[in-house]
Structure 1
Amino acid sequence: MSFNPLEQRGIPLDRQLRNWRELDVEPVDPDHGDPYTRCRVITMNGIEVEAILFSHQLARHCPDPEVKRQLARTRYIEAQQQKVVNWLLPGVASVLETTIAYEQVAVDLTAWVARMEPDPYLQQAYQFGVLEDFDHLYRYANLYEMIEHRKAEAIVDQLTEVMPGRPTKYHHRDPVDNVRDPYDRTRTDPLSKLHALTIMSTEQQTMNFYMNVGPTYMEPIARRLYQEIGLIEEEHVTHYESLVDPGETWWEQLVNHEYNECYLYHSFMEQESDPKVKAVWELHLNMELEHLHVACDLMRRHDGREPEEVLAPELPPVMTFEPNKAYLRELLATQMDLTTLGAGYVRDAHERFEKLQEAIHGGEAPPSEQVIDEHREMFGREYRLETEGEHPDPAMRQG
C-alpha cells in the first residue's frame, strides 16, 4: 500500500515533548535480540545525528530569528529522538561489540542500497565503498577475538560474513580522489537522493564514533587500528557527501532530510521484530510527519516552491536489512582491485595513489595488517566467518 508523507498529519509539534520517564527506554537484548534490530538502531542514530547537525548548520547561516526559533523547536525534539534511539543500545555491550555492529550496518545497508540504486554512477560509488567496510568488519573481528576472546559471529549471527574485502591498507588515497561527481538534483530519481543522504549520514556517524572511542582503549594495537580506520571513515564521508548536488537550497535539503526520516522510520517499523522497538519507530514516524510539514512550510515561504517539486509522490519500497552474501561475493570477485582516480575508478594503482601510500605507511605494515599478524601469533590462524563457497584472492593489483 502506498504511503505519501505529504498527505499524512503526525503528532502536533507542541505535543511531542517527552518527560524523563518516557525517554527512559529499555535497551535491546544483546544476546537474544535480532542483530538487524541493533543495525536499525545504529542507522537511525546516525540519521538523527545528521538531522541535528544539519539543523544547527542551517541556523548558523540563517539571519531570520523566527526561522532560528522554529528550527530550535524542531531540533530539540530531534535531539530527544536521538537520545531514545541511541539509548536502545545495550549498556553491557563493549565498544568493540558496538563497533562490529556499526560495520555490519555499513556492509548490509550499503549493499542493499547498491542493489536498489537506479543510477549506475551512484551504484558504483556504493559498490566501491561497501568492499572497504567489509574489510573493516574483518579487521575489527580479529581484534575482538584478541582482546575479548569472543567471536564476531555472536554479534552478526551469521547474517553477514566476516572475511577479507579490499585490504584496508589500500583504502588510503589522495584526498582529491575521494571526491565524486554529484547527482543532478533536477533530473535524478528521488530515491537516489534518499540513498545518498542515508549512506552519508550513517558513515558520518561511524566516523564520529571512531574519533571518540578510539583513544579509550589501552591496548596499542586497538588504538592504532581505530586511528587507521577512523581516517578511512573520513574518506568515506567525503566520498558519499560529494554525491549530493551542492545546488540544492537549504530549504530543499531540509525537506529531503525530513522526508528521509519518514522513509526510514516507516521502513523499519514495517520490518521490526521487537515490539518495544517497533513502537519507538511508529512514534517517531508520527513525529517526523509533522517535522516534514514544518519544513515544507519553510520551503514554501523562503524558497517560493512547493515540496512536491523535489520529493517523491509516495515513499519507495521499504529499506530492508537482510543478508547480502551472494551480492557481496560477486563484488569481491569483480571489484577488489579498484581504486579511485579523479571522480572515477581504475583497476591499477596510479602515481597519486602510490605517493600517498608511501607517505602514510612509511615502508611499514599499517595497523590493519598488524592486527592480523598479531592474531595469527596468538591463535595460529586468522578469524573468519564464511558460510558458503570460497573467498576470492584479496590481493590488489599494482601498476
Structure 2
Amino acid sequence: MGFNPLDHSGIPLDRQLRNWRELNVAPIDPDHCDPYTRCRIITMNGIEVEAILFSHQLARHCPDMDVKRRLASTRYIEAQQQKVVNWLLPGTSSVLETTIAYEQVAVDLTAWVARMEPDPYLKQAYQFGVLEDFDHLYRYANLYEIIEHRKAESIVDQLTEVMPGRPTRMHHRDPVDNVREPYDRSSANPLSKLHALTVMSAEQQTMNFYMNTGPTYIEPIARQLYQEIGLIEEEHVTHYESLVDPGETWWEQLVNHEYNECYLYHSFMETESDPKVKAIWELHLNMELAHLQEACDLMRRHDGREPREVLAPELPNVLTFEPNKGYLRGLIADQLDLTTLGAGYVREAHERFEAMQEALMGGEAAPSDRVMERQREEAGREYRLETEGEHPVAALRERG
C-alpha cells in the first residue's frame, strides 16, 4: 500500500514552533559520515529555500491579508526547518569541501532523476545538464588539491567518479538557448512535476551558494572558477525552471511545492543511514504533512479545485542517492558533444553559441582550463578518480 500524504494530517501547525535548544542541532562529522547523508542535507536545504522563496513571491502577489498571514505562519516554520537542515553541515568543512559535496549532489541527484524520468524530452534535459555538473566536480576537485592539498575522494568516497565531462568552457551559451519547452500540466506524469521542481531547487541553491561564497576566497584562481561556474549555474536554473508549466496557478504551484517536500522527506527518511538525521527527516515530514493540508485548503478556497485532481494518488518510489557510474559513462560516450539550439539540442556549434564563446573568452583560456593547467604544472598530473577504468572518450584520457 503506497503512502499518500493527502491522507495524513501531520503535526498541527500551532504545535510546530521550536525553541533555540531544539533548533541548535549537532552537525554531522565530516570525517565519518555517509557522503550521501551530506548529499541529502544539501538537497533538502535547497528544497526548503525554494519553498520559502516561493511563499514570499506568492505573498507579494496576493492582496488577501488572511492568505498573507497564513503563508507567513507556514513560512516561518519552513524557515526553522531550513535552519535545522543547513546547520547539520559542519563548520569544520571548508567552502571548497562543501562545494565538492554540492557537485556530488548535482551529479547523482540529476542522474537518478534522468534514469527515472518517464518523459523523453524532460529526460534529455536532465541528461544534458548532468554532464556539465560532472565536469564542474572535476574542476573543483583539482582546485581543492591546488589550494588545500587534499584529494576529493575524502569527500565523495568512491561513490562518484571524478573525471572530465562536457568541458566547462563549452557550457557558456546564449541565454535564449537555455530556455526549454515546459511540460503540459494537464497531461504530465505527476512524477515529472516532482522531478522538475526538485532539480530546479537544487540548482538554484547551488547558484546562490556560489554567488555568495565565491568572493570570500583570496586566491585569484578560486575566485575566477567560482565566477565562471556560478554563471553556468544561472544557465542551469533557467534550463530547469523553464520545464515547469507556467500555466500552473499560484495555488497549484503551492500544493506542488508542499507535496514535493513530503515526497523528499519521506524518501530520505526511508533511506537515511544516520539515526540522528533520520529522526529530523521524520519530524519534518510530519510537519510538512500539515503544511500540505494548509496549502490544499487554500487551493480549494481560491482556485475552486480539489488538490487530488493535480497531485499523484500516492508517493512514487523513494528518491535514492546511489552511484550512477555506468549510466554517466554511457552519457559521456554518447552526448558529450551536444549543445542547445532554441528548445532543442544539436551536435554542431552554431552562430549564437560561437558568438557567446568569443564574447566571454576574448581569446583567453577559461578559468576552468587555467585550473587544469596549474594543476598539471604543480603536480605533474590531473586529479582524477576513475574507479571503473579509463575515460570512455579517448580524447579525454589523461595525458601520459
TM-score (norm 2): 0.98
After TM superposition, list the pairs within 5 Å mapping 1:131-170 onto structure 2.
131-170=131-170
Q: State the secondary structure of the residue aligned to 1:160.
A: coil
* In structure 2, distance between residues paired with 1:48 and 1:286: 15
Conserved 8 A contact 1:337-1:395: no
After TM superposition, list the pairs within 5 Å mapping 1:48-197 onto structure 2.
48-197=48-197
Q: Give, as a single letter, the amino acid of the residue that structure 1 aligns with 2:392.
A: P
Cα displacement string for residues 291-315 of structure 1 (whole angstroms, at most 9, x for unaligned residues): 0000000000000000001000000
Q: State the secondary structure of the residue aligned to 1:326.
A: helix
Q: Hey, what does 1:286 align to over in structure 2? A: 286
Q: Residue 87 of structure 1: CA displacement?
A: 0.1
* In structure 1, distance between residues paired with 2:98 and 2:235: 21
Q: Hey, what does 2:36 align to over in structure 1? A: 36
Cα displacement string for residues 36-85 of structure 1 (whole angstroms, at most 9, x for unaligned residues): 00000000000000000000000000000000000000000000000000
* In structure 2, distance between residues paired with 1:112 and 1:393: 22
Q: State the secondary structure of the residue aligned to 2:208.
A: helix
* In structure 1, distance between residues paired with 2:201 and 2:13: 24
After TM superposition, list the pairs within 5 Å mapping 1:179-258 onto structure 2.
179-258=179-258
Conserved 8 A contact 1:194-1:260: yes
Q: Residue 389 of structure 1: CA displacement?
A: 2.1
After TM superposition, list the pairs within 5 Å mapping 1:371-382 onto structure 2.
371-382=371-382
Q: Hey, what does 1:370 align to over in structure 2? A: 370
Q: Relative to structure 1, is the Cα distance of residues 359 and 394 closer, same or farther in structure 2, using a 3 angstrom cutoff?
A: farther
Q: Residue 334 of structure 1: CA displacement?
A: 0.1
* In structure 2, distance between residues paired with 1:360 and 1:345: 22
Q: State the secondary structure of the residue aligned to 2:79.
A: helix
Conserved 8 A contact 1:214-1:222: yes
Q: State the secondary structure of the residue aligned to 1:32.
A: coil
Q: State the secondary structure of the residue aligned to 2:159.
A: coil
Q: Hey, what does 2:277 align to over in structure 1? A: 277
* In structure 1, distance between residues paired with 2:280 and 2:389: 39
* In structure 1, distance between residues paired with 2:271 and 2:90: 21
Cα displacement string for residues 338-392 of structure 1 (whole angstroms, at most 9, x for unaligned residues): 0000000001111110011011110100000000000001100010000012213
Q: State the secondary structure of the residue aligned to 2:150.
A: coil
Q: Give, as a single letter, the amino acid of the residue that structure 2 aligns with 1:160.
A: T
Q: Hey, what does 1:354 align to over in structure 2? A: 354
Q: Give, as a single letter, the amino acid of the residue that structure 2 aligns with 1:324.
A: N
Q: Hey, what does 1:336 align to over in structure 2? A: 336
Structure 2: which 5+ runs fail to align?
A: none
Structure 1: which 5+ runs fail to align?
A: none
Q: Residue 15 of structure 1: CA displacement?
A: 0.1
Q: Hey, what does 2:307 align to over in structure 1? A: 307
Q: Residue 394 of structure 1: CA displacement?
A: 7.6
* In structure 2, distance between residues paired with 1:39 and 1:33: 11
Q: Residue 393 of structure 1: CA displacement?
A: 2.9
Cα displacement string for residues 122-172 of structure 1 (whole angstroms, at most 9, x for unaligned residues): 000000000000000000000000000000000000000000000000000
Q: State the secondary structure of the residue aligned to 1:31.
A: coil
* In structure 1, distance between residues paired with 2:289 and 2:92: 33
* In structure 1, distance between residues paired with 2:125 and 2:218: 35
Q: State the secondary structure of the residue aligned to 1:177.
A: helix
TM-score (norm 1): 0.99
Q: Give, as a single letter, the amino acid of the residue that structure 1 aligns with 2:355.
A: K
* In structure 2, distance between residues paired with 1:394 and 1:234: 31
Q: Give, as a single letter, the amino acid of the residue that structure 1 aligns with 2:335.
A: Q
Q: State the secondary structure of the residue aligned to 1:208.
A: helix
Q: Give, as a single letter, the amino acid of the residue that structure 1 aligns with 2:168.
A: T
Q: Does 1:385 align with 2:397?
A: no
Q: Residue 106 of structure 1: CA displacement?
A: 0.0
* In structure 2, distance between residues paired with 1:105 and 1:226: 17
Q: Does 1:264 align with 2:289?
A: no
Cα displacement string for residues 259-287 of structure 1 (whole angstroms, at most 9, x for unaligned residues): 00000000000000000000000000000
Conserved 8 A contact 1:167-1:395: no
Q: Hey, what does 1:324 align to over in structure 2? A: 324
Q: Give, as a single letter, the amino acid of the residue that structure 2 aligns with 1:262.
A: C
Q: Give, as a single letter, the amino acid of the residue that structure 1 aligns with 2:268.
A: F
Conserved 8 A contact 1:110-1:199: yes
Cα displacement string for residues 208-229 of structure 1 (whole angstroms, at most 9, x for unaligned residues): 0000000000000000000000
Q: Residue 395 of structure 1: CA displacement?
A: 6.0
* In structure 1, distance between residues paired with 2:140 and 2:304: 49
Q: Residue 207 of structure 1: CA displacement?
A: 0.1
Conserved 8 A contact 1:165-1:394: no
Q: Give, as a single letter, the amino acid of the residue that structure 2 aligns with 1:393.
A: V
